[in-house]
């Protein structure tokens, strides 16, 4: 069965960096586009970034552009999100999600919490 397991979250000071990972299993990872989506505590969902199956096409939300970098390693069935210059408003649960046809996300991980605070 499809499984997505995020890791790498934690407490970081403003201006700091963190790298999130997402381990995928149960499907052919290299065939699928992938996304990161976040949810601040008690708030709604916010789309963060997307990467094509080969990694050649990448999009970011304006709110993270220039600070976050999405990448993937198809040999390791893994998705990554490098987060630099972190701010308080980046505090959220970060989900990795598989892209279905179009722009929908059909499988989601359980999420990893990132807290940015001094």
Partner 1 sequence: QSALTQPASVSGSPGQSITISCTGTSSDVGGYNYVSWYQQHPGKAPKLMIYDVSNRPSGVSNRFSGSKSGNTASLTISGLQAEDEANYYCNSYTSSSTPVVFGGGTKLTVL
Q: For binding to partner 1 (CB under 8 A), which residues are involved? A: 35, 37, 44-47, 50, 59-63, 95, 100-106, 108-111
For partner 1, give the closer residue by CB, 13 or 59: 59
Query: What's the min distance (Å) between Cβ of 59 and partner 1?
Result: 5
Query: What's the min distance (Å) between Cβ of 29 and partner 1?
Result: 18
Q: Are 90 and 116 in contact (CB under 8 A)?
A: yes
Query: What's the min distance (Å) between Cβ of 44 and partner 1?
Result: 4
For partner 1, give the closer residue by CB, 18 or 97: 97
In the chain, which ranges are E strands? 3-7, 10-12, 18-25, 34-39, 45-51, 58-60, 68-73, 78-83, 92-99, 105-108, 112-116
């Amino acid at each position: 069965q499809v499984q997505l397991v995020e890791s790498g979250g934690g407490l970081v000071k403003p201006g700091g960096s963190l790298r999130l990972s997402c381990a995928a299993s149960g499907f052919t990872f290299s065939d699928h586009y992938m996304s990161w989506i976040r949810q601040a505590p008690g708030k709604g969902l916010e789309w963060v970034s997307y990467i094509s199956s080969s990694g050649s096409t990448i999009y970011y939300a304006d709110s993270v552009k220039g600070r976050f970098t999405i990448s993937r390693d198809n040999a390791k069935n893994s998705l990554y999100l490098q987060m630099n210059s972190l701010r308080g408003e980046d505090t959220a649960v970060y989900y990795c999600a598989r892209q279905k046809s179009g722009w929908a996300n059909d499988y989601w991980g359980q999420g990893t919490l990132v807290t940015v605070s001094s």
